[in-house]
């Protein structure tokens, strides 16, 4: 399409690392079975003191696949997995893939409205979830194509199961007829539907193929050179999120190393686990690292080999704080970048070369990136000038599920248009400077203003509403809603936020709310979200 500079290749040359690695397409689940053959006794999972070897995990996966096949799962069928990090997530994920099924990653924090939308949009026939979450599923089940729901839990099988559910651990508790070998085309066959809001704010699913996910796991494994750096992966990033799925679960399976599973992040528990197990690789988001840095006891045992930050910009003060805290140890912190449509990682600061605070580093092996003009997306920008970041590589998605128009906008001539504004320096390091989209990243979660605005507009007292991400020292950004009430109506902040809590996952509920008599609009009546953000920044600057 065009010629573009690749100064980042020199970073690889000087570090003695190949950029042009060869990636032969293969089914993702084949990595698990291969690792189980190579290292059958190696611990694959540690979960609250319980351990499973790779041979045990592979056996559970094969039994589960046999059971699911008996129950009618066939190639191309979608199965929603709505679980926190636990052994059953890993077993379900690879069993579904081995049948040629498609995993629909579903956030356990979703409320009924969100679950119903995602199940209907994906056409999922089956779901695997926690028994504690089943009441939500039960309430929407009649409005969805769900035929069967499997449940599991952390405290053992209850005496009585909810109506019309199956206890998931029973699927792998004993030997059964194995499922037949299913032919998989790694390049064409979708493995995972990963929901993302993209530029429009309408939730849509990136179709990630077996090859996309296999390639990205191998790229990450290769990029973080040195086996000692990946012997024990602290896996508190949720696997239903694409970052945790690739950089914790799939990376561990690819590298043949151990995942230390935690179902949620609490600073006390993570600090205790780091002290006890001394993990060597910790992918996380900035809010995790901020919380740990401010936890007094953590400094005494912070020697994780590599901290890898992603999903949101890492504040420079946090980067420098970790560098100071880790001085004299073998540990270091590195920041990267990715998006659901790229499985997800495309860039990272190299631990085999210079790390540049504030940058997202260089493209991963076998990945190209260029900054192009935002107007046409066809002209490379000069070094140091801002434009839209586009990438290409084997990890780039097949397209959006049932959304050909959105696919055509995002994928052009083999390139993925990220919607993020960036610049590249003379060494090939990239810097994100702004986002074309209005997506909010708070605490590592992607939050889409339009979805929250639609809920606010449903409130009978609300006339207008705009939601924006405003600066927050801890979360990076936080969600603020600006509301204009209908004439003659009165409402409290608590009343509006309580309404949001009924209809949105907790991380999407606005943390701040401001009532206004009117909202800024353009000449054609478009609400000006950016102006509100600028006002908020100006307020904070005055305070400081």
Contact yes or no for 260/234 (Cβ under 8 A): yes
Tell me which fold the domain 8-24+196-435 belongs to.
Answer: Rossmann fold (3.40.50)
Q: Say if residue 37 is preceded by a cis peptide, omega within 30 of 0.
A: no
Structure tokens at 204: 């849509």
Predicted local distance difference test score (pLDDT) of residue 232: 94
* Fold agreement between 29-185 and 443-543: no
Rounded to an integer, what distance in angstroms lies between the CA atom of residue 62 and that of residue 182?
13
DSSP state letter for 441? E
Q: How many CB atoms lie within 10 A of CB 517?
A: 6
**Alpha-carbon dihedral sign for residues 17, 20, 23, 24:** negative
Rounded to an integer, what distance in angstroms lies between the CA atom of residue 424 and that of residue 359?
9
Integer CA distances (angstroms), 80 to 148, 211, 423, 441, 504, in order: 11, 21, 38, 24, 19
Rounded to an integer, what distance in angstroms lies between the CA atom of residue 110 and that of residue 240?
12
Rounded to an integer, what distance in angstroms lies between the CA atom of residue 432 and that of residue 356?
13
Rounded to an integer, what distance in angstroms lies between the CA atom of residue 128 and that of residue 430?
39
Predicted local distance difference test score (pLDDT) of residue 434: 64
Rounded to an integer, what distance in angstroms lies between the CA atom of residue 117 and that of residue 135?
16
Contact yes or no for 128/92 (Cβ under 8 A): yes
| Architecture in CATH for domain 443-543 | 2-Layer Sandwich (3.30)
- Give residue for tokens 């420098």: 320
Rounded to an integer, what distance in angstroms lies between the CA atom of residue 49 and that of residue 316?
36
Pairing state between β 512-515 and 440-442: unpaired
Going residue by residue through the chain, which has 544 residues, state the pLDDT in tens, using 9 for 90 and above: 689 999 999 999 999 999 999 999 999 999 999 999 999 999 999 999 999 999 999 999 999 999 999 999 999 999 999 999 999 999 999 999 999 999 999 999 899 999 999 999 999 999 999 999 999 999 999 999 999 999 999 988 999 999 899 999 999 998 889 999 999 999 999 999 999 854 345 679 999 999 999 999 999 999 986 666 678 999 999 999 999 999 999 999 999 999 999 999 999 999 999 999 999 999 998 888 888 888 888 877 777 888 999 887 787 778 888 888 888 888 889 999 999 999 999 999 998 999 999 899 999 999 999 999 988 999 999 999 988 999 999 999 999 999 999 999 999 999 999 998 899 999 999 998 766 667 788 888 878 787 898 899 889 999 888 899 888 877 788 999 999 998 899 999 999 999 999 999 999 999 999 999 988 875 444 577 878 888 888 887 777 6
Query: In angstroms, what is the C-alpha Rg of the chain?
Result: 23
Closest CA to 193 of 84, 96, 108: 96
Q: What is the largest CA-CA distance in the chain?
A: 71
Q: Where are the domains of the chain?
A: 8-24+196-435, 29-185, 443-543
How would DSSP label each residue in 215-259? HHHHHHHHHS--GGGGSEEEE-S-TTSHHHIIIIIIHHHHHT-EE
Rounded to an integer, what distance in angstroms lies between the CA atom of residue 325 and that of residue 303?
9
Closest CA to 346 of 378, 315, 310: 310
**pTM for the predicted model, two decimal places:** 0.85
Please determine, looking at this structure, whether the domain spanning 29-185 carries the CATH number 1.10.3720.10.
Answer: no
């Amino acid at each position: 399409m065009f010629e573009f500079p690749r100064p980042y290749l020199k970073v690889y040359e000087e570090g003695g690392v190949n950029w042009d690695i060869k990636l032969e397409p293969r089914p993702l689940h084949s990595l698990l079975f291969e690792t189980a053959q190579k290292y059958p006794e190696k611990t694959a999972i540690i979960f609250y003191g319980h351990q499973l070897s790779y041979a045990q995990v592979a056996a559970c996966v094969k039994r589960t696949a046999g059971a699911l096949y008996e129950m009618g799962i066939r190639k191309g069928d979608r199965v929603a997995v709505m679980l926190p990090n636990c052994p059953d997530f890993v077993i379900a994920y690879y069993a579904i893939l081995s049948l040629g099924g498609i995993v629909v990653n579903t956030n356990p924090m979703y409320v009924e409205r969100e679950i119903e939308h995602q199940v209907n949009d994906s056409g999922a026939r089956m779901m695997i979830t926690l028994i504690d979450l089943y009441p939500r599923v039960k309430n929407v089940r009649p409005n969805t194509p769900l035929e069967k729901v499997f449940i599991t839990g952390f405290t053992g099988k209850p005496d009585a199961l909810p109506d019309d559910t199956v206890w998931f651990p029973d699927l792998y508790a004993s030997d059964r007829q194995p499922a037949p070998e299913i032919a998989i085309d790694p390049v064409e066959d979708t493995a995972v539907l990963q929901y993302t809001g993209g530029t429009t704010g309408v939730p849509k699913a990136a179709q990630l193929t077996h090859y996309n996910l296999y390639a990205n796991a191998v790229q990450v494994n290769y990029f973080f050179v040195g086996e000692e750096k990946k012997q024990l992966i602290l896996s508190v990033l949720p696997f239903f999120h694409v970052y945790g799925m690739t950089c914790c679960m799939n990376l561990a399976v690819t590298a043949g190393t151990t995942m230390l599973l935690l179902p949620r992040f609490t600073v006390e528990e993570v600090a205790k686990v780091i002290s006890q197990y001394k993990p060597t690789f910790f992918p996380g988001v900035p809010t995790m690292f901020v919380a740990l840095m401010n936890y007094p006891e953590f400094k005494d045992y912070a020697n994780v080999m590599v901290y890898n930050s992603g999903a949101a910009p890492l504040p420079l003060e946090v980067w420098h704080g970790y560098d100071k805290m880790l001085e004299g140890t073998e540990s270091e912190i590195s920041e990267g970048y990715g998006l659901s449509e790229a499985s997800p990682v495309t860039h990272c600061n190299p631990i085999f070369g210079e790390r540049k605070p504030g940058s997202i580093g260089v493209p991963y092996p076998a990945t190209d990136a260029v900054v192009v003009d935002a107007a046409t997306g066809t002209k490379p920008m000069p070094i140091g000038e801002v434009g839209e970041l586009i990438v290409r590589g084997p990890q780039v998605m097949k397209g959006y599920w049932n959304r050909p128009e959105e696919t055509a906008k995002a994928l052009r001539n083999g390139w993925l248009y990220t919607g993020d504004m960036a610049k590249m320096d003379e060494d090939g390091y990239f810097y994100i400077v702004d986002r074309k989209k209005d997506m909010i990243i708070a605490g590592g979660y992607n939050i889409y203003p339009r979805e929250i605005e639609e809920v606010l507009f449903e409130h009978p007292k609300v006339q207008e509403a705009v939601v924006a991400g405003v600066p927050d020292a801890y979360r990076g950004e936080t969600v603020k809603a600006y509301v204009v009430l209908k004439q003659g109506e009165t409402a409290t902040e608590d009343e509006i936020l309580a309404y949001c809590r009924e209809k949105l996952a907790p991380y999407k509920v606005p943390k701040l709310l401001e009532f206004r008599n009117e909202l800024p609009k353009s000449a054609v009546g478009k609400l000006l979200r950016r102006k509100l953000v600028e006002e908020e920044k100006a307020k904070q600057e005055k305070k400081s």
